[in-house]
Structure 1
């Protein structure tokens, strides 16, 4: 058994252990095969990428999974609470703007020569959450 959760997403690279969980796989691939623009070597710069990963997990994924996704996907249509779903979606709408604004500020800082995570680093961490 490669994944104790019995889900499909698993990565085996060379003779290493089986990796599961999207974020762990992405960080492994970025660290192993990516350059500094994808996965910063500097611990402080990489911590900023990790910060956005955690932000996406806590502020987007968790606010979407139970309040929206499960209420639609796992609830029969006749039992769905449209008002609660709409309220949850409305609560989520401002969150992508937080990331977009911050990443825009990051790009402007980099243009002035400040070291900061690239948008590709942040995108690698935020995209799996956003696509859920």
Structure 2
């Protein structure tokens, strides 16, 4: 129980360590960059089946719908504690992992090819 900060680890060891967690936290400053791009850790957590508590950005809302647990870092800490105490009210890591299957390089490649084909035609 509690927050664990880990030292630098090689990539595979890092991913193995993350997969042991119950919840991943993704606090963000909402700005122009976060409105058009997502952090890799969001997809890593999702693929590993780790629930995600995140600042809500338009892009994350569009991509993840109601699968993430929304929290504004400026909110009172009691709200975060309440989320953690009632974590079973939120989508499970397994549900998030299943949902995340739509995010794959294979699917993204198809979209990119379609864009190029449309530009060429």
Same-fold call, TM cutoff 0.5: no
Please identify which structure carries the higher strand content: 2
Calculate the TM-score normalised by the size of structure 1: 0.29
TM-score, normalized by length of structure 2?
Answer: 0.31
Point out which structure has higher relative CO (alpha carbons under 8 A, 6+ apart).
1
Structure with more of its chain in helix, by fraction: 1
